[in-house]
């Protein structure tokens, strides 16, 4: 694993990962790299909050709360780093990182949000994101924070890669997986969670092959029963 620091040349043959919280790593992954501590910063400049892509989401929420900055409440308990959130337009319910985003530094150039193609759990960054800017607004919402945290009470405590599938329009992936009888189903030490069916949890020593088998099984059953093609939120490497 290569750790990239500022002023280092950026290799073209490596795959950048954030906190690796939505990844399934195969036995033969591509060469990987992560942003180092130089990219974990928060600073206020010209009415903007500038955040390094390696900044953990928990620290972003803590900063926003401490300085009474609105808009980042939904990041609470979303694992990983800002870079990972940007790469997949992460969020909770209707709250997504691109909703509050101003621009992203990609390959050393600041690109406005309007020039980036993005959507539900998707963003085409087209390069290495190292920082992002957000317009600062006062008023951290403690009530909203509590409400969003309560939404996460039904998520499993075991290690997982987060939500396995994106919610299809007008429905929920967890409901569909449960409806086809897969909630709690195991392969080896991987399991569709008994708490929330859209979470693929590792009970200890689970393998990529077992995880992929369960993903394919869920896709097949949901497609056969409901005619819905589930789209993975988890990324494979």
Query: What is the distance in angstroms between the CA of the first residue and the CA of the last residue of the chain?
Result: 14
What is each CA distance from 81 to 22, 41, 157, 205, 225, in whole angstroms? 11, 11, 19, 25, 37
CB count within 10 Å of CB 63 equals: 17
**Catalytic amino acids?**
121, 163, 233
Cα 11 to its chain centre, rounded Å, is 23
Q: Cite the beta strand spans of 10-151 per DSSP E.
A: 15-16, 23-24, 32-35, 42-45, 48-52, 91-92, 95-96, 101-106, 109-112, 117-119, 122-124, 129-135
Using alpha carbons, list the distances in angstroms from residue 50 to 35, 60, 101, 225. Answer: 16, 11, 10, 47
Residue 190's nearest CA partner among 178, 208, 174, 206 is: 206
Residue 44 near residue 136 (C-beta atoms within 8 A): yes
């Amino acid at each position: 694993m290569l750790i990239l620091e500022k002023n280092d040349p950026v290799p073209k043959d490596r795959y950048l990962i954030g906190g690796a919280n939505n990844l399934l790593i195969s036995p033969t992954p591509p060469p990987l790299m992560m942003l180092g501590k130089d990219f974990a910063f928060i600073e206020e400049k010209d009415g903007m909050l500038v955040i390094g892509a390696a900044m953990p989401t928990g620290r972003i929420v803590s900063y926003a709360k401490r300085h009474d900055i609105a808009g980042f409440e939904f990041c609470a308990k979303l694992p990983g780093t800002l870079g990972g959130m940007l790469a997949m337009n992460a969020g909770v319910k209707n709250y997504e990182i691109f909703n509050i985003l101003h621009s992203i530094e990609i390959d050393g150039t600041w690109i406005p949000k309007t020039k980036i193609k993005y959507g539900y759990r998707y963003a085409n960054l087209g390069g290495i994101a190292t920082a992002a800017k957000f317009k600062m607004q006062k008023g951290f919402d403690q009530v909203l924070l509590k409400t969003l945290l309560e939404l996460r009470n039904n998520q499993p405590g075991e290690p997982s890669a987060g939500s396995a599938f994106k919610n299809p329009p007008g429905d929920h992936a967890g409901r569909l997986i449960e409806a086809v009888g897969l909630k709690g189903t195991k392969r080896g030490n991987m399991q569709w969670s008994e708490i929330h069916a859209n979470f693929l949890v590792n009970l200890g020593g689970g393998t990529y092959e077992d995880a992929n088998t369960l993903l394919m099984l869920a896709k097949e059953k949901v497609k056969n029963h409901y005619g819905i093609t589930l789209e993975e939120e988890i990324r494979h490497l």
